Amino acid sequence: MPYYTVKDGTEIYYKIWGPENGPVVVFSHGGPLNADNWEAQMFFLANHGFRCIAHDRRGHGRSSQPWEGKNMDTYADDLLALFEHLEIKDACMVGHSTGGGEVARFLGRHGTSRVRKAVLVSAIPPLMLKTDTNPLGTPMSTFDDCRAGMVADRAQFFVDVPTGPFFGFNREGAKNAYDCVTVFSETDLREDLRKIDISVLIIQGDDDQIVPIVASAHEAIKTLKHGSLKIYPGGAHALPDDINKDLLDFFQA
């Protein structure tokens, strides 16, 4: 399996699907998932001529499990190391949930010289936590309950989330994961969004119970210089069923 090693010795797993000379799409997964969450999109786009690359974020999937480094700056730096390792240029980026924050921080921290377009799907920017300057955010008590649930019964927590709010099934109709709650809930990405000077497509369902749309997509679109928003009526936090066509249309435009 292919790996690359970053400066602190962490080994990051990645996979590549699609023709060698195709235009590149780099995917960033949500937490606590891994690169496999993108297989449907990678298969679809690879069959339309794109070279699709996805990595397992540090502490996730097949990558190393370091005790330190679970913060958005390090995630973005790890991603830059992937770009450098594979000499990626003129890429499109796609991030889901926490991965959307990773994409935003990458672009805000490292610039857009290697990237031509980006897509944020059910993504955490600009800021999930409710603060004096972010009154539409989610109270800290919600994230404290999330962390407490992981510690009390980690197995049950990872049953309850996907069978409930992640896919919307409750509607009619580890350490790394623990640390990830702090990263996705408390990282302020507002300044990163302001720095992005490329076209960004935001995709989100209006019934997202994990990342409420009012405090995420509706706020993020106000900040982006070249942003567009597509809302899936009734859509949950999981990747929308029709996202493949949306990605293809956006990348080919």
| 161 pLDDT above the threshold of 90 | no
Instruction: Give the model confidence (pLDDT) of 197-211 as tens digits.
Output: 999 999 999 999 999
The span from the CA of 165 to the CA of 159, in Å, is: 11
Q: Is 185 a catalytic residue?
A: no
pLDDT given at position 171: 61
| 1 pLDDT above the threshold of 80 | no
Residue 180: pLDDT band (50, 70, 90) is confident
Residue 165: pLDDT band (50, 70, 90) is low
What average pLDDT score do residues 14-24 get? 98
The span from the CA of 186 to the CA of 109, in Å, is: 17
> One of 29, 60, 96, 237 is an active-site residue; which one?
237
> One of 97, 122, 185, 216 is an active-site residue; which one?
97
Q: Is 85 a catalytic residue?
A: no
CB count, 10 Å around CB of 9?
A: 8
Instruction: Give the model confidence (pLDDT) of 20-43 as tens digits.
Output: 999 999 999 998 899 999 999 999
Q: What is the pTM of this model?
A: 0.90
Q: Is 48 a catalytic residue?
A: no
What average pLDDT score do residues 38-67 get? 97
Q: Provide the mean pLDDT of the chain.
A: 92
pLDDT given at position 168: 61
- Domains of the chain with CATH codes: 3-252 (3.40.50.1820)
> One of 77, 78, 192, 208 is an active-site residue; which one?
208
pLDDT given at position 177: 79
